[in-house]
Amino acid sequence: MTTDTDIANRALDILKEAPITSIDDARPIAMWLKRNFASSRDAILAEAEWNFARKRVSLPADSETPAFGWCYSYTLPSDFIRLIPLTCHGYPEGDPIPYEVESGKILTNAKAPLPVRYVFRNEDCATYPATFQEAVAARLAGRMAHWLTGKSSFLQIAQNIYNDAMNKAWLHDATEATWPRAADDDWMRARW
C-alpha cells in the first residue's frame, strides 16, 4: 500500500538524495515534504477530472439566496477541489446548466437538489494510479531541487519526469470511462 512517505521518497530518488523513514520525521527535509505534500497533490488534482478522485452528491439549496443574478446558492463540499461542469441530472452528456462558483458556493437557477460531480481532496495515496504518484513525486522534486541539491539541472530533470508522468496519467485516466456521446447522436440515429 502506497503512502505519502513512499511518494516523498520517490521525489528524493529523483534528486539522488537519501530516503526518509517517515514524512513525520524531525529532519528538515521530512518537515519540508510534509508541509508541501498536500498542496502539491491538490494542485495536480485540480488539473483534471481524475476518475480516482471523483464524487457525486446531491446538494440541498442554501437557505440564503444570492443578492442578485441567480435564484439559488449551494455550498460546496468541504473536500471540494474542482467542479465538473453542471449538467441536467448530473449526466456527463446532459444539457449544460449555467452556473458560477463564488466564495465556496455554486450559484445557479437550477432547483434543489442539485446533482453535482466534482474532484475531491483524495488523501488516500493507495488509490492513486502509479502515473499520478510519479507526477506528485516529480512536482515535489521540482519544488525542492535547487534548494536541496544546489544544482539547477535537477529542476529540469524533475520537470521532464513530471511532464511525462502527467501525460501518461491523463491518458490512463481517459481510458477508464466511456466517452460521452455527442449531443446530436439521437438526431444522427434518426436519420439512419
Q: How confident is the model at residue 152, as a pLDDT?
A: 83
Average pLDDT per consecutive 10 residues, the chain (192 residues; last block may be shorter): 96 95 95 96 96 96 96 98 93 91 97 97 96 96 88 89 92 75 50 48
The pTM of the full predicted model, rounded to 2 decimals, is 0.85
Q: How confident is the model at residue 186, as a pLDDT?
A: 53
Q: How confident is the model at residue 87, as a pLDDT?
A: 94
Q: How confident is the model at residue 94, as a pLDDT?
A: 87
Q: How far is CA 73 from CA 29, 105, 127, in A?
A: 43, 6, 32
Q: How far is CA 11 from CA 60, 145, 161, 168, 186, in A?
A: 41, 9, 10, 18, 49
Q: How confident is the model at residue 192, as a pLDDT?
A: 47
Amino acid at the residue 87: T
The DSSP line for 37-87 is HHHHHHHHHTTS--GGGEEEEEEPPPSSPPSSS-SEEEEPPTTEEEE---B
